[in-house]
Amino acid sequence: MKSPSWPTVRDDFPILHQTVHGKPLIYLDNGATAQKPRSVIDALVHYYERDNSNVHRGLHALSMRATDAYEGSRTRIAKFINAADPAEIIFTRGTTEAINIVARSFAAILKPGDVILATEMEHHSNMVPWQQVARATGATLRYVPVLGEDAEGGLDLAALDTLLTPQVKIFAFTHISNTLATVNPVEELCRRARAVGALTVIDAAQSIGHTPVDVRAIGCDFLAFSGHKMCGPTGIGVLYGRRALLDMLGPTETGGGMVVSVTYDEAKWKPAPERFEAGTPNIADAIALGAACDYLDALGRDQIAQHDNELGRLAYEKLSTLPGIRIIGPRGGRGGLVSYAFPDVHAHDVVSFADQDGIALRGGHHCNQPLMRKLGLTSTTRASFYIYNTAEEIDVLVASMHRILKFFGAA
Amino acid sequence: MSGDLSELYQQVILDHNKRPRNRGKLPTANRVAHGDNPSCGDQCNVYLRLDGDRIADISFDGSGCAISQASASLMTTLVKGKTAAEVEAMFQDFHKIVTTGEAPEEISDLAAFAGVHAFPARIKCATLGWHAALNAIHGDPATTTTESHTD
């Protein structure tokens, strides 16, 4: 492959140009958070240096500029995911808060006998909130199984026939698994959920920056993602919800900015999105998230998907040659990350070693404890790729892994 | 191989990691405690037979990084036959070693963990087995979790 896919892309990321322990930084922890291009950093600086003001409240020039930029970003993000209406974009702190908003809203609606369906590969953030709702409402939480000893078979779609009953009110699933790199057939899952009247909630944290996400083509009811995994700042994310549904749901937080009128006894809510954005929002980061959308669209999201998936494929192929390695997730058709384990060297030792070679990896359970337990693992090492990574960096990774195995006497 | 990592992974640690001592369940145990490190998933069970105030026998099992497993292994070899107070004192020495990198002269094997102090994220790995052992000695049935103490 041409490496990198965009000859000057690395120049856009100031952070990449440093050494770690005397070695050039190789950042392969993009599943945890992506690095930020200059244009996103500039958007933050510009806002604080020129436009900083509260939104929706002031009649002065700065407040109007801030409001325009904030609402402009909402419109930009709506376009980024092809939402029908900017009002369907609710700014949150991230994926976790977005899923919690949906879950808490449904806590008022679900009742015993109702079923919440999730999958065995969900991140804790798309599992624990549903456990809490099930506990609070008496609804039952069920999981679509993951197939194969190494979860290489993806979701058990045949089991959906029996699991997707009319009792299922919510079907929550991830687009791309943060541990397995499985790319779920989200359109099909939404179609089958719709057929039984279940609403769909998609965790798009690992897909939003890596592949085109079109909420209307997917046909989902809700979709959650974080800005920081798509070159945006931390502390900002999005809950997308179909307008008709959002206006049915009550707020999860109340206060200023989300009310139409207030008396000493009661208050009336604004419609979405304001209903879900009580208090002064995270204006600067929301604006910078719009800049991140511009950046990714300029690179081309189909090209990003091709680049990341190719690195995932290449890493899978090259890591497979290491003695004793166990790679989990699908063998082909995977997203741009690889999780693996060695029988005799723990992931944390691997990560400490790789760090000395300037390589940033993640080691642990990746917020997938039940899945790890099912696979008989306590932790894996994960290398996750993004637009600025190269095939050469994968060669350095594999060489580092060889040295680690040798050091621990495992090869 | 950088100097830093050679400091962290001393030969004593690699040896205990590869050939852990006193590993497995202890059939005669009258005390058991479980320790875990939620941030990384490391786990360590400590089984011991307390004879009055003295540790008559001890074993451990679990899973985790080389530091956590080697530390638990070494710990079992050092505390066998010791009184609860002696184990406490030994842990205080060990704690000082892994947090400051300074080892008292008379201490030998435990000093292998001095390199841990340069890797703050790994201090919890090194102390996991010790915390589980102290909990077992004190008969604290609660799971030790590294999030509930400061190291």
Asked whether the beta carbons of residue A353 and residue B41 sit closer than 8 angstroms, the reply is no
Residue B5 pLDDT: 78
pLDDT digits (tens, 9 = 90+) for A87-117: 999 999 999 999 999 999 999 899 999 999 9
Q: What pTM does this model have?
A: 0.93
Q: Say if the Cβ atoms of A349 and B65 lie within 8 Å.
A: yes
Among A344, A378, A403, beta carbon nearest to B41: A378
Interchain CB distance below 8 Å, B41 and A408 = no
Interchain contact A370–B (C-beta under 8 A)? no
Does the structure's ipTM exceed the value 0.85?
no
Interface contact B65-A347, CB threshold 8 A? yes
A373 touches chain B (CB under 8 A): no
Residues in chain B closer than 8 A to A408 (CB atoms)? 14, 17-18, 66
C-beta of residue A200 within 8 angstroms of C-beta of residue A189: yes
Instruction: Show the tokens assigned to A14.
Output: 């100031």
pLDDT tens figures, A295-328: 999 999 999 999 999 999 999 999 999 999 999 9
3-state secondary structure of A243: helix
Mutation site, A349, A369, A381, A408, interface B, largest B CB count within 10 A: A349
**Any CB–CB contact under 8 A between A349 and chain B?**
yes
Whole-angstrom distance, CA of residue A407 vs CA of residue A400? 11
Contacts of A22 in chain B (CB under 8 A): 2
Interface contact A379, partner B, CB < 8 A: yes
Burial A193-217 (b: 16+ CB within 10 A, else e): beebebbbbbbbbbbbbbbbbebee
A38-54 residue pLDDT tens: 999 999 999 999 999 99
Q: Which residues of A are catalytic?
A: 367
Structure tokens at B27: 């059939």
> With an 8 Å Cβ cutoff, is A341 touching chain B?
no
Q: What is the mean pLDDT of chain A?
A: 96
User: What is the band of B143 on the pLDDT scale with cuts at 50, 70, 90?
Assistant: low
Q: Helices in A272-346 by DSSP H: which ranges?
A: 283-299, 301-319
pLDDT at position A4: 61
- What length is written for chain B? 151
The pLDDT score that the predictor gives to residue B106 is 74
User: For A74-86, what is each residue's pLDDT tens digit?
Assistant: 999 999 999 999 9
Q: Is the pLDDT of residue A253 over 60?
A: yes
Do the beta carbons of residue A203 and residue A213 sit within 8 Å? no
| Six token digits for residue A145 | 């199984």
pLDDT at residue A3 greater than cutoff 60: no
Query: Is residue B133's pLDDT more than 70?
Result: yes
DSSP letter (8 states) at residue A50: I
Lowest-confidence segment of A134-138, A220-224, B106-110, B145-149 by average pLDDT: B145-149
Alpha-carbon distance of A99 to A200, in angstroms, equals: 11
Nearest CA in chain B to A367: B39
- Please give the average per-residue pLDDT across B130-139, as a whole number: 93
The whole-number pLDDT of residue B8 equals 86
Instruction: Kindly report whether the peptide bond that precedes residue A273 is cis, defined as omega within 30 degrees of 0.
Output: yes
Q: Least CA distance to A379: which residue of chain B?
A: B41
Query: Mind listing the pLDDT tens digit for each residue in B24-34?
Result: 999 999 999 99
d(CA B87, CA B125): 18
Q: How many CB pairs under 8 A join A and B?
A: 56
- Report how far residue A399's alpha carbon sits from residue B126's, in angstroms, rounded to the nearest whole number: 28
In 3D space, the residue among A124, A73, A133 whose CA is nearest the CA of residue A101 turns out to be A133
pLDDT value of position B146: 57
**Nearest CB to A379 within list B40, B66, B125:** B40
Residue B148 has pLDDT above 70, yes or no: no
What is chain B's mean pLDDT, rounded? 88
More confident residue, A179 or B40: A179
Say if residue B2's pLDDT is above 60. no
> Before B38, cis peptide (omega within 30)?
no
Six-digit token string for A64: 């109007």
Confidence grade of residue B7 (pLDDT, cut at 50, 70, 90): confident
DSSP state of B143: P
Q: What is the pLDDT of residue A409?
A: 83
Which one of A22, A346, A369 has the shortest CB-CB distance to B65?
Answer: A346
Over residues A158-182, the mean pLDDT reads 97
**Which residues from chain A sit within 8 angstroms of residue B4, using beta carbons?**
21, 356
Query: How much of chain A exceeds pLDDT 70, in percent?
Result: 99
